[in-house]
Structure 1
Amino acid sequence: MLRRLLAGCLAGGLLVQSVAALTCPPDVGGPVVGRTPVSTELSGRAAAAANGAEVLEDAFYALAVLQDSYFVAVNGTWPSSIDWTGAVVETVVSGMLTTLTRSLSSNNPGSDVDWKQKENLISSVYAQVVHSFFGQDALAIANQAYDDMLWVVLGWLEATSFVRLHSELHYPGTGHDCNHLPIQLGQAMQTSSWQGYSWLCTFADRARAFWDLASVGWDTKLCHGGMTWNPRLTPYKNAITNELWISASIAMYQHFPNDTFEPSWAAAKGFAAKDPVYLAAAVEGYSWLKGVNMTNQQGLYVDGYHIDGTKPGNVECDQRDETVYTYNQGVILTGQRGLWSVTGSASYLEEGHRLIKSVINATGWDLGKNTPVDPPGGGLQPWRGIGRGGILEDQCDASGTCSQDAQAFKGIFFHHLTAFCAPIEPIVDDGMTVNMQKYRNVEATHAQTCRAYLGWVKHNVDGALETRDGAGRFGMWWGAGARTSGVLTERDDDISHMAPKSTDYRNKGTPQDKIWGENKWEPGSKTVKLPCHGLANGPRDLRREASADPADPNNRGRGRTVETQVGGLALLRAYWELS
């Protein structure tokens, strides 16, 4: 259904009228208007697809494939996802809605017919986001690890951001304060001119509820602070949970600055009573993360710290796990951007750009020359720390051994890169003054630095587009284009999988030993089976439907999934927004 709506808008050039020749995306298995079928076209046009209209078109098409192939309206979920990856999917889809409404606002809406088609497209996607609120298993997530809870917070905050923006751009005068109080129907109708705004407080309440639940994970007894990953395992303070805590907290402060807390609650958490709790939590969390030394010699975030239990009375983070995952380099970017917006301290932006440059360098890309460090050849390019050949990569990609968790990681990185590099605007509260000259300098430097990343992002876009199958579904290993065979294992992927002090638990689960403890954690997994359209023929298995070519490197392991599709969408959106 969504692909048909996109076809109508794109064929008429309605989404971005300043871009000529936007044409319809193909309907898989059916006729194509204005383009050759994806299955015969992808390889030939991937190198040029990251330009202007085609990137926007590819992003819209990736969204359509994501929703038409993986979202099931019967239960309002992406049923092949697991709880936390489903929250990530909702986050990226909500972010794409923001991109859609900005694209519409950049031009005169035109005729009533044009506007109806545009609004119908956005409302159709938004309706699925609203439906996913009820499909989300909130009760189950409330009993999971603290990072799982915080993915939910970020997801619904992203949705509230879209709601506010869409209302401001297209329905002036919409809006009311939630303050977590019941809203009378009559009052809502009087104050809201866009029907979608009525869900804002519902989304906000869930974000607040899960932030409250996750706050229990903040602990000062071990390591002098920091979030604990999982309450049912041996204490482990990892990067992702703390990055999520920082980013979710500062986003809560930005979206709900008038929220109130009991003074005793804030005091019990060790947060400064003189500061709003969300801001204090974000600042304290960031200070702890910086002070605990969670980055390696390449400037990349490693996974986390254990507390050596063999030392009597030990409370220090003194056993560092050196494993590097792509998503650990991304989530903190939203926190850094938010902290800069609130405090005006340029150090947050500087540290964010430093991290991004470290990531780009560790993929084997020369930012100065805007080209890969290693020239392309016939074989596998050398591993550079978090990628090869200038393309971002997790350590499981080349061998096709990624778990469902890891399949979501690269999309998470690019979603938060997009948030970090958004154009900056001064946020001035009552009584504040802004040095406009300094602000303009920061604004220009930030924008210029983000534009310098475009060549690298485009290079990743080109690689990712090459992984799409005939149905438009993205693969996991974006650097697979140079490979002519899918036969590649951990023995010959140029990665040291047995490196000391490194445990790839996100793909292989936690070992049962004196460091990780007796309770074992396994990465989430599901059989990738989805109902057919209309549910008439029962479930179909998409794992081996992804590609008919047994030599396809992206047809191994879990194959193409909802997580790999949302990764492609997040990447394409990042390129469009940064440019």
Structure 2
Amino acid sequence: MPRRKDGNTQLFQECPIFSASPRHCDPLAPKSFLPTKVQAVVTKGNGASSRPDRDVFDDLLDAMDVMQSEFFAPWLGTWPTAIDWTAAVMGTHISGATRSLSEGLMFLDPADGRIVDWKSSANVIDNYFSQLVGFYFGQDAFAIRNQAYDDILWVVLGWLETIRFVDTHDELYYEFTDEKPMVTSTMPYYGNLWTPAFSHRARVFWDLALAGWDETLCSGGMIWNPRLLPYKNAITNELFIAASISMYQYFPGDNNTSPFSGTRDAKYLKAAVEGYRWLINANMTNEQGLYTDGYHISGYADSGNNNTKCDERNDMVFTYNQGVLLTGLRGLWDATGALSFLSDGHKLIQNVINATGYDLALDTPFDDLADFDTGALPPWYGLGRLGVMEDTCDASGTCSQDGQTFKGIFFHHLAAFCEPFFEPAPGSGVDIDHRAFAATKKSHDEACSSYGGWLAHNVEAAMGTLDSDGKFGMWWTAGLLTSNWTGPWPTKAHDGVPRNENSTDYRNYGVPHDEIWRRPHGSDGAKGDHPVILPPSLQPESVQKPLAGTEKQSLPDELRKRYITESDPNTRGRGRTVETQGGGLALLRAYWKIAQSP
């Protein structure tokens, strides 16, 4: 993306490929979104297959079945072991996967013997959609309104994803054409009956989240949690960008308070652009090009301190901070035709892959698994090892409920970024440079295709963690190590992950009780902030406390030895949960859509 001399990014200063107004410039089509040394991988045919592997589709169906049959309670309309925000993410995974099933069933060849008849296909789709409708009522929408702004924004993305499923399924199976008659009469898909309810919740929660945008501190950006000292973190701002541009693209209007206003409300596009402008100028990325977690304002708790700058960075790196922005970048491209959004997205993806220890140019991990068969962990590269994505809590089995959700979020948004794109429809009033668009599409498709080998490698690792019930574990790398491992499984002190004093893992081990994160005890609420009252997402029974995996480390030596030498490392800590299952499902879906889907 072009930069001015003052370092600020020029959004929309480039010549867009399509525009709603006359263009007075020639857009430059990209030669490739890939580094030169990686382009050869594409020519080898890495990634997407001309003949999809139906076993991957079966694995996706199995993962979804286990998630819903083992963890979802239809009579409650939710996943009882989830908490509010992780349940919102699980709903997003199910909505996305149901949309992928709808698309996949349309193209699968009945000769394969996988699909019995149209009734069976419809039953599969309607089964999962009915559970999403149940979740609409099972979601504790009133509680989430009083939680942190990121919790609120997960709700927006979730219901917009469900609306996308309804629209896609209706178009594929119920839209009348001469070539494709409707399934029955002229009745649209019944899921459209629920779109106003889904839309209303998305709109209400976006409006609630907007209160988190703050211009008085750090020159803009979203505050994470109004009940703590100001913290402007990557995830809340990425969610605001992704939710805003998704509202611009997919929100059909809200007739709960007024007639449908129609789509493409410019205020959502404006919010997404402003959010991204702030984020990329906030110095939030580290030397590997990965997003760190966020910023505090030094000395804020001191009533005599007038500092308003984000100058105290928490260098903690989480996988989900690299993912949510991808939906925002893809949406901004779709809305504007500005190539820099695609370029930024592909660069971030490639930085992530490199940080797992995987060489895209050679299409293989940096390290050879055969070199690590005596109990020695492969080296850590920033977001994993041996080419497999990890969060820093994975190897030690100490991930919280938050941490167990993160990797699935990344892969959901990777799939969203790499979806095929199409020219704006004729009659839309958008002027298109067809030559530049075709070149951009080719480059985008080739870049996404090149990620297929890495995705397949992660799928192989994750599938190696399945237990006898078909449940995914949290630490996917163990799926490659278990057959050769001879030593005790690593603890936090011996997991090979470097840690420094500028990295606070508050998501897995709790928000510190100090003057950086919380106002000192007895504070009278200096600077007009709310009193420190813990929201539901930070209450003692929530995921934010140190969890069972950490507590087990203080057990008597005999029991502790049994814990770290357990033959299945994914039984440690919280074990296999709905969140780990959601992660496996999101990974399989990304692999299917990017590297296997017709």
TM range (shorter): 0.7 to 0.9
Output one character per residue of 1:132-185: Cα deviation in whole Å (capped at 9) or x when no partner: 1100000000110000000000000000000000000100159xxxxxxxxxxx
The CA distance in 2 between the partners of 1:494 and 1:193, in whole Å, is: 55
Aligned ranges for residues 375-390 of structure 1 at < 5 Å? 375-376=368-369, 377-378=372-373, 379-390=376-387
| Change beyond 3 A, Cα 1:291–1:435 | same
The CA distance in 2 between the partners of 1:409 and 1:573, in whole Å, is: 16
Output one character per residue of 1:244-282: Cα deviation in whole Å (capped at 9) or x when no partner: 00000000000137679x9xxxxxxxxxxx981100000
The CA distance in 2 between the partners of 1:525 and 1:107, in whole Å, is: 40
1:282 paired with 2:272, answer yes
**How far did residue 53 of structure 1 move?**
1.6
The CA distance in 2 between the partners of 1:296 and 1:526, in whole Å, is: 25
User: Which residue of structure 1 lines up, in the alignment, with residue 295 of structure 2?
Assistant: 305
The CA distance in 2 between the partners of 1:444 and 1:555, in whole Å, is: 44
The code of the aligned residue for 2:331 comes to G
Output one character per residue of 1:409-453: Cα deviation in whole Å (capped at 9) or x when no partner: 000000000000001112257332101110000000000000100
1:244 paired with 2:247, answer no
User: Which residue of structure 2 lines up, in the alignment, with residue 370 of structure 1?
Assistant: 363
User: Which residue of structure 2 lines up, in the alignment, with residue 576 of structure 1?
Assistant: 592
User: Which residue of structure 2 lines up, in the alignment, with residue 525 of structure 1?
Assistant: 543
Indicate the SS of the match to 1:317.
coil
1:407 paired with 2:404, answer yes
What is the TM-score with the length of structure 2 in the denominator?
0.77
1:147 paired with 2:147, answer no
**How far did residue 51 of structure 1 move?**
7.6
The code of the aligned residue for 1:321 comes to N
| Change beyond 3 A, Cα 1:124–1:417 | same
Is the contact made by 1:147 and 1:241 (CA closer than 8 Å) also made in structure 2? yes
User: Which residue of structure 1 lines up, in the alignment, with residue 215 of structure 2?
Assistant: 220
The code of the aligned residue for 2:511 comes to T
| Change beyond 3 A, Cα 1:257–1:291 | farther
**How far did residue 525 of structure 1 move?**
3.2
User: Which residue of structure 1 lines up, in the alignment, with residue 350 of structure 2?
Assistant: 357
Output one character per residue of 1:79-104: Cα deviation in whole Å (capped at 9) or x when no partner: 00000000000000000111111112
The code of the aligned residue for 1:101 comes to S
Indicate the SS of the match to 1:298.
coil
The code of the aligned residue for 1:482 comes to L
1:235 paired with 2:230, answer yes
**How far did residue 107 of structure 1 move?**
5.2
Is the contact made by 1:81 and 1:526 (CA closer than 8 Å) also made in structure 2? no
- Root mean square deviation, CA, Å: 2.6
The code of the aligned residue for 2:75 comes to V
Is the contact made by 1:82 and 1:526 (CA closer than 8 Å) also made in structure 2? no
User: Which residue of structure 1 lines up, in the alignment, with residue 492 of structure 2?
Assistant: 490
- The structure 1 residue matched to 2:190, chosen from 181, 189, 195, is 195
Indicate the SS of the match to 1:237.
strand
The CA distance in 1 between the partners of 2:460 and 2:158, in whole Å, is: 28
- The structure 2 residue matched to 1:294, chosen from 284, 299, 316, is 284
**How far did residue 572 of structure 1 move?**
0.5
Indicate the SS of the match to 1:315.
coil
The code of the aligned residue for 1:74 comes to W
| Change beyond 3 A, Cα 1:212–1:275 | closer
Aligned ranges for residues 512-551 of structure 1 at < 5 Å? 512-518=513-519, 519=532, 521=538, 524-525=542-543, 550-551=566-567
- The structure 2 residue matched to 1:443, chosen from 427, 441, 444, is 441
User: Which residue of structure 1 lines up, in the alignment, with residue 101 of structure 2?
Assistant: 100
| Change beyond 3 A, Cα 1:319–1:456 | same
Is the contact made by 2:245 and 2:268 (CA closer than 8 Å) also made in structure 1? yes
User: Which residue of structure 2 lines up, in the alignment, with residue 452 of structure 1?
Assistant: 450
- The structure 2 residue matched to 1:464, chosen from 440, 462, 465, is 462
Is the contact made by 1:486 and 1:554 (CA closer than 8 Å) also made in structure 2? no
User: Which residue of structure 2 lines up, in the alignment, with residue 137 of structure 1?
Assistant: 140
Is the contact made by 1:403 and 1:525 (CA closer than 8 Å) also made in structure 2? yes
The code of the aligned residue for 2:586 comes to A
1:345 paired with 2:346, answer no
| Change beyond 3 A, Cα 1:275–1:168 | closer
**How far did residue 526 of structure 1 move?**
10
Output one character per residue of 1:303-329: Cα deviation in whole Å (capped at 9) or x when no partner: 000011257211111111000000000
Output one character per residue of 1:439-472: Cα deviation in whole Å (capped at 9) or x when no partner: 0000000000001001111110000000000000
1:78 paired with 2:79, answer yes
Indicate the SS of the match to 1:233.
coil
The CA distance in 2 between the partners of 1:394 and 1:387, in whole Å, is: 7
**How far did residue 193 of structure 1 move?**
2.2
Q: Relative contact order: is structure 1 or structure 2 higher (C-alpha 8 Å, sep ≥ 6)?
A: 2
The CA distance in 2 between the partners of 1:109 and 1:356, in whole Å, is: 35
The code of the aligned residue for 2:354 comes to N
Is the contact made by 1:486 and 1:553 (CA closer than 8 Å) also made in structure 2? no
User: Which residue of structure 2 lines up, in the alignment, with residue 25 of structure 1?
Assistant: none
The code of the aligned residue for 1:525 comes to V
**How far did residue 109 of structure 1 move?**
8.3
Output one character per residue of 1:200-256: Cα deviation in whole Å (capped at 9) or x when no partner: 111111101100111100110101110000011100000000000000000000013
- The structure 1 residue matched to 2:395, chosen from 398, 401, 407, is 398
Indicate the SS of the match to 2:493.
coil
The CA distance in 2 between the partners of 1:134 and 1:239, in whole Å, is: 30
| Change beyond 3 A, Cα 1:143–1:190 | farther
Misfit runs of 4+, over 2 Å: 107-113, 189-193, 256-260, 427-431, 483-487, 518-527
Indicate the SS of the match to 2:313.
strand
The CA distance in 1 between the partners of 2:466 and 2:109, in whole Å, is: 34
**How far did residue 106 of structure 1 move?**
1.8
1:164 paired with 2:167, answer yes
Aligned ranges for residues 311-330 of structure 1 at < 5 Å? 312-330=305-323
The code of the aligned residue for 1:453 comes to Y
User: Which residue of structure 1 lines up, in the alignment, with residue 476 of structure 2?
Assistant: 478
Question: Which structure 2 residue ranges, 5 or more long, are not aligned?
Answer: 1-50, 178-183, 258-263, 520-531, 546-562
The CA distance in 2 between the partners of 1:146 and 1:568, in whole Å, is: 26
Is the contact made by 2:489 and 2:566 (CA closer than 8 Å) also made in structure 1? no
The code of the aligned residue for 1:431 comes to G
**How far did residue 510 of structure 1 move?**
1.2
What is the TM-score with the length of structure 1 in the denominator?
0.80
Question: Which structure 1 residue ranges, 5 or more long, are not aligned?
Answer: 1-49, 175-188, 263-273, 528-546
The CA distance in 2 between the partners of 1:346 and 1:570, in whole Å, is: 27
Indicate the SS of the match to 1:502.
coil
| Change beyond 3 A, Cα 1:220–1:275 | farther
Is the contact made by 1:486 and 1:552 (CA closer than 8 Å) also made in structure 2? no
User: Which residue of structure 1 lines up, in the alignment, with residue 69 of structure 2?
Assistant: 68
The code of the aligned residue for 1:555 comes to T
**How far did residue 191 of structure 1 move?**
8.5
Percent of aligned pairs sharing the same letter:
53
